[in-house]
Amino acid sequence: MQNKRNIGNEYERIAGKYLEKHGYQIIEYNFYSRHGEIDIIAKHEGYLVFVEVKYRKDDSTGSPLDAVTVQKQRAISKCAMYYMNRNRLQDAAVRFDVIGIQGNEVALVQNAFDFVI
């Protein structure tokens, strides 16, 4: 049986391919900082996009999109701020998207949440 990290990486790559088919340019996978992790960083239609990927085998534990809690949004926001400061991108237009994968279905929510402090 694969561990959760390997499974997560597999579905992040699936999400990346989905995003590329929809015009996103992938910059980086799995950006880590002391604040947390961002699954995918991409460019799309003039935005720097921070993408959270959630996978669920089925709906027994709820929708994967519902798993992006306010606490998770806060961690992603802090990590995104760190990334932007580190790369001198403070003036970039930013968006937070979420991809939910349930079984074989992929759902993309653009601008899923705002920056959370």
Domain range list for the chain = 4-113
- The reported pTM is 0.90
Task: Give me the percent of the chain exceeding a pLDDT of 90.
Answer: 69
Kindly state the average pLDDT of the residues 15-29: 96
CA-only gyration radius of the chain, Å: 14
Q: From residue 60, how far is each of 64, 102, 103 by CA, in Å?
A: 10, 11, 12
Residue 44's Cβ-side half-sphere holds a number of Cα atoms within 13 Å equal to 21
Largest CA distance in the chain: 44
Q: What band does 6 get if pLDDT is binned at 50, 70 and 90?
A: low
Could you identify the residue written with the tokens 């921070």? 50
Q: Which CATH number fits domain 4-113: 3.30.565.10, 3.30.910.20, 3.30.230.80, 3.40.1350.10?
A: 3.40.1350.10
Mean pLDDT of 44-50: 97
- Band the pLDDT of 72: cuts 50, 70, 90: very high
